[in-house]
Amino acid sequence: MTQPESAGGGAPTRRLAAILVADVVGYSRLMGADEEGTLAALRALRSKVIDPALAEHHGRLVKTTGDGLLVEFASVVDALRCAIAWQQGVARANSGIAEDRRIVFRIGINLGDVIVEGDDIHGDGVNVAARLESLAQPGTICLSRAARDQVRDKLQVQFVSLGSLQVKNIARPVQAYLVTPGGGVGARSAPRRRIRHWPRSALPVAAIALVIAAGLFLWYEPWTTIAEREAPGLQAPGAALPLPDKPSIAILPFDDLGADTQNPRLGEALAENIISSLSKLPQMFVIARNSSFAYQGEAVKVQTVSKELGVRYVLEGSVQQAGGRVRINTQLVDATTGFHLWSETYDRQIDDIFALQDDITLNVVTALQVELTQGEVAKVRQRGTETLRAWLLVNQSFEHLVRFTREDNAQARKLAEEAIALDPDYAEAYVRLARTYLADSHSGWATNRDAALRRSIELAQQALRLDDSYPDTYHLLSAIYLFVNRHEDAKLAIMKALDLSPNHSLAKANLGMVLTYSGEAEAAIPALKEAMRQSPIYPDWFLSELARAYFQTGRYDEAVQVLERRLQRDPNSGEALILLAAAQSSAGRLGEAKAALAKFLEPRPAYTLRHYASGEFYKNTEDLDRVLDALRKAGLPE
């Protein structure tokens, strides 16, 4: 390793470097439990694992910070090889040690410009590496896109995209990638294997039924059209959002002109599939369905859409059906200038609708000058069925599912079953059908809740067997794993969903929820904010989960602010009221906490701390205890 150019006290200089930042997970807890033993174990790991790995891979240890290390490399390949050897060596050293005594590292790697002063380095290149380290899962490695691009064809490792995340004190979003367990870190299996071989015995029906009653809505996508259009976080409603640093687009639902009763809502289904296809591309920023579809039926200007959703481009169109033929008009507009980048009129047989969808999607990509690999073209063209009627039935089923009434749930099931009868290999139809049975079990609509739950699990397994590339199946599995306290499996499943669809805002929010419940609330906050940015007209539960993450990081005032906005949407939200009581109690506002709790208890006077605890699924008891202690102070009985 070459010595720093500025060694010897010269003026600061700059250079490009691969920066590795690592720290010990739960260091304060380990030190509190056994200070001398923890320090001795750290020294042993430095001597036997870390220092030899640094020497072998030409790393320069810049400095240590108690539980953290900053290392510089001339090569990203060397940095990642070192990190893999580091994590594997630590995993071997931990074998036979009780889980609560193990020393586990997170590692972040970035390629960037650094400022060199003496033997020290600093600057944004180092700061980004530190933020990536905080996003890594315990025992794993997180890379920036710049670092990933340098090693993706040089090492036999796999990456899972965490999306483009806004991280603390960094002006531009950071594209983050996790090196998966199947990519050589640790001794665990790859995500796909663990999820595909889901043992039935590992999902006790009674346990799932208990927790799904509290958490079903988190994966069930229960949004309705939200009247208040607001920017992410606490930005003022109506404020223009900054444009992303990649091609950004909103696809509006295509207008159905004189819709054929045999193929209703064709324009809406077409737009939804284009959104799903484009969302698979990490090179693009695609607004989520529930935000772009909020304009359905409105005569809205593309400039308004651009301002409210924070995108540069808007795709709009219309569909007209007659006599087995379909005419589709489309236009792609640069909303910042009003310039039409591309427009086309298609007049085809209705049976050509899937080929038309591919043509429109790829024409949009071409017009935005997004370069695709052959694999990415195949992903864009990928679809679950070639049967038009089955495709439309599944889209109609979704509309009934999100209304969450007994009658709508029954209609959603009927439509999904009709779709499966037409195409027994249609994975998405099985996911829709699984959701109806889970809704029955959750709500009590089923005469046998356990049987309904078992049926939903069987259908989810069938969907996975039919198509292991459908993101929503992994999204569903992640929530179920979380509900039964399989936190690591939940993280792997939701990261698989995001790897398949990097623009999936609901999966990003679900990642934030999983991280919070897994004891990693600090990393949950940027994931939730990114989900809000991807879907500026977002579901209410995004706010609740952001507030929960703020609470668990001790940022009680910020939690209160977010919950107050949540209650502006629904003043009687029980979920928001009880979280608000906890946050106000922890912030020292006991009078306000008692008032919020009293409002929560009005329709549920017998509610106790035990009821609250039974519906939560925190990995660490201290995280649950933090909420319970706050509610106890506010006056919630045992």
pLDDT digits (tens, 9 = 90+) for 534-571: 999 998 999 999 999 999 999 999 999 999 999 998 89
pLDDT at 191 over 70: no
- Among 327, 349, 365, the domain-final residue is 365
pLDDT at 238 over 70: no
The pLDDT value recorded for residue 1 is 38
One-letter amino acid at 612 equals: Y
Distance CA 151, CA 84 (A): 13
pLDDT at 209 over 60: no
pLDDT at 233 over 90: no
The pLDDT value recorded for residue 154 is 81
Q: What is the CATH number of the domain that holds 176?
A: 3.30.70.1230
3-17, 235-249, 307-321, 429-443: which has the minimum mean pLDDT?
A: 3-17
Helix or strand run (H / E) with residue 342: strand 339-349
The pLDDT value recorded for residue 507 is 94
Mean pLDDT, range 590-599, rounded to an integer: 95
What tokens were used for 350?
């209705």
pLDDT at 125 over 60: yes
The pLDDT value recorded for residue 260 is 58
- Among 308, 343, 365, the domain-final residue is 365
What tokens were used for 152?
């993706």
Does 138 lie in the same domain as 20? yes
Does 256 lie in the same domain as 139? no
Residues 497, 503 contacting (CB under 8 angstroms): no
Does 165 lie in the same domain as 290? no
In a domain, 201, yes or no: no
pLDDT at 485 over 90: no
pLDDT at 190 over 60: no
Mean pLDDT, range 515-544, rounded to an integer: 93
Number of domains in the chain: 2
The pLDDT value recorded for residue 164 is 62
Q: What is the CATH number of the domain that holds 330?
A: 3.40.50.10610
In a domain, 610, yes or no: no
The pLDDT value recorded for residue 21 is 96
User: Between these two residues, 289 and 10, which has the higher pLDDT value?
Assistant: 289
Helix axes 388-401, 406-422, angle to 10 degrees: 160
The pLDDT value recorded for residue 163 is 63
The pLDDT value recorded for residue 231 is 38
DSSP H helices in 186-344: 191-196, 205-215, 217-220, 266-278, 289-292, 302-309
The pLDDT value recorded for residue 170 is 63
Does 68 lie in the same domain as 176? yes
Confidence class of residue 183 from pLDDT cuts 50, 70 and 90? very low
Helix or strand run (H / E) with residue 256: strand 255-257
Residues 6 or more apart whose CB falls under 8 angstroms from that of 521 comprise 515, 548, 549, 550, 551, 552, 553, 623
DSSP H helices in 325-426: 353-367, 374-381, 388-401, 406-422
How large a percentage of the chain has pLDDT more than 70? 86
pLDDT at 34 over 60: yes
For 66, the domain range is 13-188
Residues 6 or more apart whose CB falls under 8 angstroms from that of 250 comprise 286, 287, 291, 292, 305, 306, 309, 311, 313, 314, 315
Q: Which range scores top for mean pLDDT: 207-211, 233-237, 370-374?
A: 370-374
In a domain, 262, yes or no: yes
Strand bridging mode 313-322 / 255-257:
parallel
pLDDT at 594 over 60: yes
Residues 21, 125 contacting (CB under 8 angstroms): no
Residues 464, 426 contacting (CB under 8 angstroms): no
Confidence class of residue 482 from pLDDT cuts 50, 70 and 90? confident
Mean pLDDT, range 602-620, rounded to an integer: 90
pLDDT at 603 over 80: yes
In a domain, 105, yes or no: yes
Mean pLDDT, range 396-413, rounded to an integer: 89
Confidence class of residue 4 from pLDDT cuts 50, 70 and 90? very low
How large a percentage of the chain has pLDDT more than 90? 49
Confidence class of residue 187 from pLDDT cuts 50, 70 and 90? very low
CB burial of residue 227 (10 Å; 0-12, 13-18, 19+): exposed
The pLDDT value recorded for residue 408 is 92
The pLDDT value recorded for residue 256 is 86
User: Between these two residues, 502 and 323, which has the higher pLDDT value?
Assistant: 502
Does 179 lie in the same domain as 261? no
Does 252 lie in the same domain as 162? no
Does 301 lie in the same domain as 157? no
In a domain, 338, yes or no: yes
The pLDDT value recorded for residue 597 is 95
Does 255 lie in the same domain as 175? no
Does 178 lie in the same domain as 41? yes
- Among 365, 389, 405, the domain-final residue is 365
Does 174 lie in the same domain as 34? yes
Confidence class of residue 417 from pLDDT cuts 50, 70 and 90? very high
Residues 286, 272 contacting (CB under 8 angstroms): no
Does 253 lie in the same domain as 184? no
Residues 387, 423 contacting (CB under 8 angstroms): yes
In a domain, 307, yes or no: yes
118 conformational bin, left if phi > 0, alpha if psi -120 to 50, beta if neither: left
Does 174 lie in the same domain as 290? no
In a domain, 563, yes or no: no
One-letter amino acid at 249 equals: I
Q: What is the mean pLDDT of the chain?
A: 84
User: Between these two residues, 534 and 262, which has the higher pLDDT value?
Assistant: 534
Backbone angles phi, psi at 330, to 5 degrees: -135, 150
User: Between these two residues, 215 and 415, which has the higher pLDDT value?
Assistant: 415
For residue 385, how many other CB atoms are within 10 A of its CB? Answer: 19
